[in-house]
Chain A
Amino acid sequence: MSFLNPSLAGVALACVLAPIIIHLLFRRKRRPVEWGAMRFVLEAFRRNRKRLRLEQWLLLAARTLAVLLLALAVGRPMLAGNRPAESLRARDLILVIDNSLTSQANAGSDGALADSRKQASRLLDELNPAKGDRASIITLAGPAEKRVDAPSLDLAGVRRVLDQIEPADSHADFAGAASLIRAARPDNQDREVTVAVLSSLRAGVLDASRESKSEADQAETVGSEDSALSVLASPPAEAPIDNVAIVGVEPLRSIFLRGGAGASSQQARVWLRRFGPGIEKPATVTLRLRASDGRAADDHAWAKSQARFAPGEDAIQLLAPIGIPDAKDAAATAVSWLEARIDEDAIAGDNIYRRAWKMREHIRVAIVAPPSTGDREGGPSSFSAADWLSLALAPTAAARGIDLDAESEAIRTERIDPARLSASDLAAADAVFLTRPDLVDPATWPLLGDFARRGGLVLVCPSPEPGVQKWTDECVKAFGLAWTFDRESIERKPPRNLRGANVDQPLLASLGADLAELIKPVVAVRTLPLQIKNDGDWLLRFDANEPMLVAARPSGSTRGLLVALTVSPELNWTNLPAMPLMVPLVQEIVRQGTGLASGSQDLRAGSPVELPEELRLIEPASARLEGAVARTNGVWRRVDARGTTRELVAVNADPAGSNTATQTRSALEPALKNWIKSRQFAWSRLADPTGNGQGLGETGRKPPVDWPLLLAGLCLLLLDVAFSRWFSHATVHDRNEGASREQPGNPEATRGIAA
């Protein structure tokens, strides 16, 4: 609490001691009055001692409190948070405008963002630039953004900025807004700061039940109770709105090979959620899904399916077919993605979902091994690991007696001599198989690491030659992994049986339940033990938890994949090459692995985008990439210095902002109060049809509370008079009777008689 007149308040507060001092002064030693009937005085005193003491305390309390209140009133106190001379101070208005995904919700009006603009304009009307009032704008869509760098006296310019605010597809970022508010606060404390939160405050903006404890706790404390900061919030929207959002799309194949079979049976998993009061009713949503390469598509290019919500069901997952464009037009573009759409509803931003999805004519696999001897007559026992892998990559070609690197296959292989492996060889390949890593020059391993980090797939298996596996150190170093290979392979007696398969990993997910049967007959008589130490994932393993197949991304990279076998796929190591598992395993490693390794950034709107290279927008034209943040959904391609597309970046709406459920003021108030510790929180009446709440004029500018204190003090004085009268037990005597009497027992009267 502070005072407008602190010196007066100090003097007046000292007067609180006056009743006590007067009381003590009157208790000083006086000449006693002799009294005969003392026994009755003592008896009466004993009987009434408690009552008399209570009366005295009440009187003292009433008098002291009355003086205290009057003293406070004289000092003109300000309540907590109010600042002295507040009416003379200029104000900084910080408009926190909600332009998050939820602000697109349209309940028959112009939308929540339009309502927020109107409220902001009315608040700006209440400012007086001549007095020094300033305004700034912070948009709430994540990450929160300061739209006016510093509080500005140019309110017309602020209005122009206000009109330019567009809705984003990201979730509201209250924590970031709190940080910006703190940065925007003036250093000196002599300005009133009002933070106006203008939002529909649906659950997608601020989930009071969940975020009041989590996000608000993480939010930075901007003000304190004694600061000059107050918060004004627009009342939460009350109109119910139903909304369905596409939460995610995941193709079963991470890469689509046009040259392969089954082009018409491509599918993807789609996750949908719905919000609003309509959850209790059944609903059907039409889902359209297609593979897009950026060109306009006819309606028949979409594969349509129906998603049905049961009553009370708010989330479903369905397997939907993907519409594939005609193969004859595909060669014209090098980029492609999956695009899912649902029917238009309250929020448009979450009705579309894009995901990078490669469509390739074929995959080029470089098998780094010495040239094949071509001695097929020797039988399978003479096949090298490279031969087995080549057979597994092109089994149909082999069956037809076609050369292994036939151009018509979806997976094309090329044998490269390890001694001559160069960067140009790697640039033309999607995947590299190292069956003789011991023959790779140590200087080449870094090239392999770079190849992986650019999105390449590397498969490495032990050298079948006996002796020390010297290549392991270079390999682990090149990929930055914490793996540990044993120096030499170990002969296993009895042979190790393949016992475990990790189907949760996307690399083998397509094999599904079949994998359990396929691994049963596989045994290994020699292995190169490997400890991966939580760096990567195991895919297949022998009994005793010894891994057979592991995979990991190169350290520090979101792209690339290193797959390692702990057995050489030769018959003197394992029977895997001759088992049914061999072909699907190698095929999946290549088909899924190249897709996974190539990497693609599928981001939520508002997330930061890595910008080592230029991003070029593909669609839609309205998509916004501001700095390193994509605020709306869209697809961008990342190009290198030569203009070559390196990867696709797909940005989708943040489904956290899709929740259109309404919330009550009582539920929101704690969350908003926790968001910023202000000395005053109020609901704005600008958008309140009931008229409750405050306008900007009242916030933070409450007058001093001297009049209530003065009235309270006067009331206490009246009470004190009543107490004095009541507790004194005084009665009105007849004037004549009183005049005719002398005052017995009075020392003055006694002295008069004596004289």
Chain B
Amino acid sequence: MATADEPRTDTNANASVDASLYLHPQTLARLSSFELRAKMIVEGLSSGQHQSPYQGFSVEFAQHRPYAPGDDLRHLDWKVFARSDKLHLKQYQQETNLDLIVLVDCSGSMSFGSRSFADASGVGRETSPDGRSHWSKFDHATALAAALSYITLRQGDRVGLEMFDEQVRLVLRRSSNQGTWRQIVTALSTHPARRTGAPADGSTNRSSDLKRAIEQTFAQITNRCIIAIVSDFFMDLDMIKDALARTRSARADVMAFQIMDRAELEFDLRENAGGVLLQGLEGESLLRIDPRALRKGYLEALNEHNTRLRALLRGMGYDYTLVNTHDYLGPALASFVSRRNAQIKRHLA
């Protein structure tokens, strides 16, 4: 396991973490029959069950195209010529393996959560190993990353992990070995998201730097892959756009999972006389507000952000899924995977 420029030394203390904390048995049961397929045609180093972008002349027929002078006559489809008296060439697709890179946001905002840990965890524990009583967005992101890794490893593909906030915190190289999933879960459980203080430069924002994480990812890999970004995406859309432009130039497939707590989605804070004093988790200053007076504006800003994020991702042909931490992960993830696979099949047909 290789870490980024600031590796965390406390991870060894929780090396014996129970992976079941983050992957509910029901979730595993749901996901066991699913296969994660690349939506985009990716280039692999070994032959696998995923299509290669190189439409050469391999085993599986892809399509016909009209003959042009200079084409190799060995690829002419004589049967078509016999039936239609037209010259067409056969084209074939080469199958490759799937590399999944999971980028998990561990910024301060991911530590927020309003769901009880006992309700969300699958083992009946009241608190997290580090003593928290609430189920944070990072917990949910961890479970999602573990589930995606599980599916991918189960079908024999390679999985890599990268955790980031305003900088890359941890990088786990791609591997399809048997112990990879355990390594991933251990890494996720030992690098929790933590609230951050005010930045030293005086700015008020210590949100995640997705662009840096993407660039660092593509600095280490050369083949095409699937990037799964698990984050609340509480970051500037321009920065997200720049990051996605980088993935597009690398011709990678992206699955974006926006993790949000129900409280954040509804902003239904209980009214208190004198207002509510809010404390940001990424270095923002204290702010006293009247929740009911500000709810409409908050929801407008949030929905505007999410709408633009979704439009940005889908405009680039990427998947976007909003994940509520108060929902169980299994059904939602199963629905996403099946929907994605169906979409890919329709595309290929």
Contact = CB atoms under 8 A, between A and B. Distances in A.
- To the question of whether A and B form a pair in one complex, the answer is yes
Interface of A: 23, 25-45, 47-48, 52, 55, 727-730, 741-746, 748-750, 753-755
Interface of B: 108-112, 114, 116-117, 133-134, 137, 195, 205, 207, 232, 234, 260-264, 266, 268-282, 284, 286-290, 292-298, 300-302, 305
A332 B263 CA distance: 126
A55 B293 contact: yes
Nearest to B300: A44
A8 to B, nearest CB: 29
Given A37-B264, A749-B114, 17 more contacts: A23-B274, A26-B275, A32-B277, A33-B278, A36-B234, A37-B302, A39-B234, A41-B278, A44-B294, A44-B296, A47-B297, A48-B293, A728-B271, A729-B292, A729-B295, A744-B261, A754-B133
21 contacts: A23-B274, A30-B274, A30-B276, A33-B279, A37-B112, A37-B260, A38-B109, A38-B281, A38-B284, A40-B301, A40-B302, A40-B305, A44-B296, A45-B294, A45-B297, A48-B294, A729-B293, A743-B269, A749-B114, A750-B134, A753-B134
B274 A26 contact: yes
Contacts of B268: 741, 743-744
A747 to B, nearest CB: 9
B133 A753 contact: yes
Given A55-B293, A744-B261, A749 B270 contact: yes
Given A40-B302, A42-B284, A30 B277 contact: yes
Given A38-B284, A40-B302, A47-B301, A744 B294 contact: no
A659 B296 CA distance: 76
Contacts of B295: 729
A143 B302 CA distance: 88
B284 A36 contact: no
B274 A34 contact: no
Nearest to B303: A40
A34 B282 CA distance: 10
Given A47-B301, A52-B290, A753-B116, A34 B195 contact: yes
Nearest to A754: B133
A744 B234 contact: no
Contacts of A32: 277-279, 286
A310 B297 CA distance: 84
A25 B109 CA distance: 31
A164 to B, nearest CB: 77
A566 B282 CA distance: 117
A37 to B, nearest CB: 4
Given A33-B277, A34-B281, A744-B114, A754 B269 contact: no
B294 A38 contact: no
Contacts of B278: 32-35, 38, 41
A45 B116 CA distance: 29
B12 to A, nearest CB: 28
Contacts of B288: 27
A39 B302 CA distance: 9
B116 A34 contact: no
Contacts of A749: 114, 270
A467 B86 CA distance: 169
A39 B195 contact: no
B293 A728 contact: yes
A35 B293 contact: no
A43 B294 CA distance: 10
A727 B269 contact: no
A745 B269 CA distance: 6
Contact of B289 (A28, A45, A741, A753): A45
Nearest to B277: A32
A23 B288 CA distance: 13
Nearest to B279: A32
A45 B294 CA distance: 7
B270 A743 contact: yes
B293 A727 contact: yes
A749 B263 CA distance: 12
B290 A728 contact: yes
B281 A33 contact: no
B116 A744 contact: no
A744 B269 contact: yes
A528 B76 CA distance: 161
B263 A744 contact: yes
A34 to B, nearest CB: 5
Contacts of A42: 280, 284, 287
A44 B298 contact: yes
Nearest to B269: A745
A34 B294 contact: no
Given A38-B278, A44-B294, A728-B290, A754 B301 contact: no
Contacts of B301: 40, 43-44, 47
Contact of B270 (A48, A52, A748): A748
Contact of A31 (B111, B277, B300): B277
A26 B290 CA distance: 12
Contacts of A730: 292
A32 B269 CA distance: 13
Given A27-B274, A44-B294, A754-B134, A34 B279 contact: yes
A41 B275 CA distance: 14
B264 A36 contact: yes
Contact of A37 (B109, B134, B273): B109
A746 B116 contact: no
A34 B110 CA distance: 12
A728 B292 contact: yes
A244 B292 CA distance: 83
B112 A36 contact: yes
B290 to A, nearest CB: 7
Given A41-B298, A55-B293, A36 B276 contact: no
A52 B275 CA distance: 12
Most buried by B among A28, A35, A741: A35
A55 B108 CA distance: 33
B205 A39 contact: yes
B195 A746 contact: no
A749 B282 CA distance: 22
